[in-house]
């Protein structure tokens, strides 16, 4: 797949699209799994924001860290680390 711009938002959209193609089974339970790992004040957020909370745990507004290429790289790495951890914790092969 070709992505003209590679940043956290495009990666999250790509993962969301894959989940839709898999009839919402790819990320089934992922948000709940992430909620166990973040501050309760973020529990009403979507999985893509929860990943940012994990990537930037000391940030009061984690999505503001996406203004830099370093922040986007860190968020993308956290996204794949979370997906890997979730797959291992739930014994799912994707």
Buried b (16+ CB within 10 A) or exposed e, 39-64: eeeeeebebbbbbbbbbbeeeeebbe
Task: Answer whether residue 3 is part of any domain.
Answer: no
Please tell me the pTM assigned to this model: 0.89
Say if 94 falls within a structural domain: no
Residues belonging to the chain:
94
Domain of residue 65 covers 8-89
Burial 8-22 (b: 16+ CB within 10 A, else e): beebbeebbeebeee
Query: Which 3 state secondary structure label does DSSP give 87?
Result: helix
- Mean pLDDT, the chain, rounded, equals 92
pLDDT for position 69: 93
How many structural domains is the chain composed of? Answer: 1
Structure confidence at residue 60 (pLDDT): 87
1 inside domain:
no
């Amino acid at each position: 797949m070709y992505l003209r711009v590679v940043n956290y938002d495009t990666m999250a959209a790509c993962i969301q699209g894959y989940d839709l193609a898999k009839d919402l089974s790819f990320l089934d339970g992922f948000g709940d799994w992430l909620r166990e790992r973040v501050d309760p004040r973020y529990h009403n957020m979507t999985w893509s924001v929860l990943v940012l909370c994990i990537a930037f745990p000391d940030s009061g507004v984690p999505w503001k860290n996406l203004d830099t290429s370093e922040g986007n790289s860190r968020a993308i790495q956290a996204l794949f680390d979370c997906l890997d951890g979730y797959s291992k914790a739930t014994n799912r092969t994707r």
